[in-house]
Structure 1
Amino acid sequence: MTTSAFIASLTTNSSLLALWGALLLHWLLPIPSPLHPLRIWHRLALLIAARVNHPYDNYAQRQLAGYLAWSLMWFTVLTLLFAMSQLVLYPIIFQLTLLWLALDWQQTAHLSHQFNHAYNCNDKDQCRQLLAPHLNRNTDVLSLLGLGKAGAETIILSYGRHVVGVLFWYMIGGGIAAILYRLAIGLARAWSPTRAQYAVFGYPAIRIAAIIDILPLRLFALLLSLGRNSRVALQGLRNQGENWHLPGPGWLLVVIGHKLTLSLGGPAIYNNVKMERPRLGGRITPSALHLAQIQQLITQRLYVWIAVESLLLYIFYGVL
């Protein structure tokens, strides 16, 4: 293939151009968290749950209400997006915009840097303030070491779900699949069963999120395991990979925990109730240095992930 033919194949590959355009736009023009449309989605989810989630109903009724509420919200958006896709004049702009809305790479990186700085300064109040919007559990009782572990887990899973999962589903189904994935993850967070009022109602949302998380997060976990300490990381997957309550996030935590010899998981307090969680990884409690290593490791692997995805999009949507 000549150079001109190669350039022509790139410029006509709308999926690849939308991917690069959305990544560039995301870094040049990130959406502030308070103004992000997904905040509206979160509030709408809470309002609908308040209407249909009745604590006096029996178990089956509350679970059915969870499935119906999830279906109402998610399939309504799916229908609207499909209808819009048939009407837009420039499909590439439509796909780019949806992927831009779904991505949350820069906010996660910003959280990582802010938390690492506060943690390095032993500023417990700032650490708690930074983590509070991202956790469903009580951070007020966490010690500095507990905050370090919670911060590491939050950063790892945020990259996994807000970047890796979004990019994976974009490759599978374009911008519509990417934003629908983020909406499903948003419902799982809004209706998390770790909150007492959603202990039954929220199970459908968390089960669906677990299913759509498995493939992207496990593939990324395998990518993370490559390189230094790969044998230790893979051995950790064999021993602990299925211990976590969610299969996709569990692999991410296990691989990074063993690769960097970090202690992750363990007991956590939700609604003032201590919940036992499996202990994953090594024996070292995350320090500021380890948080920086996590940030560096994930960022490096994300560049590889994007390169591989770009190649696949070029092959399947450009050459074939």
Structure 2
Amino acid sequence: MESLVALLTTNSSLLALWGALLLHWVLPIPYPLHPIVIWQRLALLIAERVNHPKENPSQRILAGSLAWFLMSGTVLILLFAFSQLVWYQTIFQMTLLWMAIDWQTSAKLAKQFNQAYNLEHKGRCRELLADHVNRNTENLSLLGLGKAGAETLLLGYGRNVIGVLFWYAIGGGIAAIMYRLAISLARTWSPSREQYRFFGLPAIRIALILDIVPLRLFALLITLGQNAKLAFKGLMQQGENWQLPGPGWLLVATGHKLSLSLGGPAMYNQIKMERPRIGGKIAPASLHLAQIQQLMTSRLWCWIIIESGLLILFHGLA
């Protein structure tokens, strides 16, 4: 125990990591007061001012680029300024990571959605997904809701936990919160919404770049263990089929590992988007959603342990 305490006190990055995880579970930030929610509302207000549907596509892409750099650049400058003023860097880094990570939302969604799905309560399932997806859920069948729920859980854990932890390891709390803000902008200004068809392209492209390494590494971690050969083979065959390279690997790896059928057509703004069918052949049922939750939880802890080990190693080398 003494050696563990000594390790944490001498390794500020490791202390901030575990401190943020503990804070996230013991003292979660209420959703209406979360900085990400305020950030999304600000993004919508800015888009209303600078995104003009009558302008040509190139002008709207330029406006989206400038809006992204204005918002993100301002926050980045402020964070660097604050980092020079704080007395305790560990607390500062821990606070930023605490605000960036969001494990509880996905865990809560998994529990509530699985309960409603098990009872075949389609209305409740649609209500639960409404705040987490941009696609239309009103006319989804029970099968469609199962697929949408599975994909939402996977991407929620991948981006709000794995992506955040990856960028924390790369650049500390500032990198973690900036990644989360970038992902939030990509969702708020998603090109799948007609009004952001061109305006949101810069945001989604930046998010794709930030996503590709952490989500692909996590996908490889998912393939390990039972059905590893099948999952890896599926990854090699279908990994590049999805429109988004990072999320695509994550969905394909899980789909083949659990033999689940994912992907397929989806409605966005009443427009049918053809998406590739990926994964196995079994339609997600309540049991499979529980398996996804169990798989994600075990792999998340594996990732945290590996990252902690790397933080210890590099601290020792330093």
Regarding TM over 0.5, the answer is: yes
Residue 97 of structure 1: how far off its partner (Å):
0.5
2-side partners of 1:4 and 1:114: how far apart?
40
2:25 paired residue among 14, 24, 27 = 27
Q: Secondary structure at the match of 2:21?
A: helix
2-side partners of 1:154 and 1:310: how far apart?
27
Where does residue 91 of structure 1 map in the other structure?
A: 89
Please say if residues 138 and 272 of structure 1, whose CA atoms lie closer than 8 Å, have aligned partners that are also in contact. yes
Q: Deviations over 1:227-286 (max 9, x none)?
A: 111111111111100011110000000000000010101000011111000111011110
1-side partners of 2:276 and 2:220: how far apart?
20
Aligned length: 318
2-side partners of 1:5 and 1:293: how far apart?
36
Please say if residues 225 and 233 of structure 1, whose CA atoms lie closer than 8 Å, have aligned partners that are also in contact. yes
Residue 319 of structure 1: how far off its partner (Å):
4.5
Residue 318 of structure 1: how far off its partner (Å):
4.0
Matched, 1:194 2:225: no
Where does residue 259 of structure 2 map in the other structure?
A: 261
Residue 8 of structure 1: how far off its partner (Å):
3.2
Q: Deviations over 1:146-173 (max 9, x none)?
A: 1010000000000000000000000000
Q: Deviations over 1:36-63 (max 9, x none)?
A: 1110100100111111111111111111
Q: Secondary structure at the match of 2:219?
A: helix
Matched, 1:40 2:38: yes
* Alpha-carbon distance change, 118 to 4 in structure 1, aligned in 2, over 3 angstroms: closer
Matched, 1:77 2:39: no
* Alpha-carbon distance change, 269 to 90 in structure 1, aligned in 2, over 3 angstroms: same
Q: Deviations over 1:91-129 (max 9, x none)?
A: 111100000000110111001000000000111111000
* Alpha-carbon distance change, 187 to 171 in structure 1, aligned in 2, over 3 angstroms: same
Residue 32 of structure 1: how far off its partner (Å):
2.3
Q: Secondary structure at the match of 1:280?
A: strand
The within-5 A match list for 1:124-143 is 124-143=122-141
* Alpha-carbon distance change, 273 to 246 in structure 1, aligned in 2, over 3 angstroms: same
Matched, 1:169 2:157: no
Q: Deviations over 1:174-199 (max 9, x none)?
A: 00000000000000000000000000
Where does residue 63 of structure 1 map in the other structure?
A: 61
The within-5 A match list for 1:292-303 is 292-303=290-301
Residue 9 of structure 1: how far off its partner (Å):
4.0
Q: Secondary structure at the match of 1:134?
A: coil
Where does residue 226 of structure 2 map in the other structure?
A: 228
Where does residue 185 of structure 1 map in the other structure?
A: 183
Residue 34 of structure 1: how far off its partner (Å):
2.1
2-side partners of 1:137 and 1:312: how far apart?
38
Letter in 2 for 1:149: K
Letter in 2 for 1:209: A
Residue 317 of structure 1: how far off its partner (Å):
2.3
Please say if residues 194 and 270 of structure 1, whose CA atoms lie closer than 8 Å, have aligned partners that are also in contact. yes
Where does residue 148 of structure 1 map in the other structure?
A: 146
Q: Secondary structure at the match of 1:269?
A: strand
Using the size of structure 2 for normalisation, the TM-score is: 0.98
**Structure 1: tracts of 5 or more residues without a match:** none
Q: Which moved more, 1:301-310 or 1:9-18?
A: 9-18
2-side partners of 1:195 and 1:9: how far apart?
48
Where does residue 16 of structure 2 map in the other structure?
A: 18
Please say if residues 10 and 318 of structure 1, whose CA atoms lie closer than 8 Å, have aligned partners that are also in contact. no
Please say if residues 217 and 249 of structure 1, whose CA atoms lie closer than 8 Å, have aligned partners that are also in contact. yes
Where does residue 280 of structure 2 map in the other structure?
A: 282
* Alpha-carbon distance change, 125 to 91 in structure 1, aligned in 2, over 3 angstroms: same
2-side partners of 1:183 and 1:174: how far apart?
15
2-side partners of 1:7 and 1:187: how far apart?
39
Percent of pairs with identical residues: 70
* Alpha-carbon distance change, 228 to 193 in structure 1, aligned in 2, over 3 angstroms: same
1-side partners of 2:156 and 2:2: how far apart?
40
Q: Secondary structure at the match of 2:272?
A: strand
2:113 paired residue among 105, 112, 115 = 115
Q: Which moved more, 1:31-40 or 1:41-50?
A: 31-40
1-side partners of 2:99 and 2:36: how far apart?
8
* Alpha-carbon distance change, 40 to 290 in structure 1, aligned in 2, over 3 angstroms: same
Q: CA RMSD in A?
A: 1.2
Matched, 1:270 2:262: no
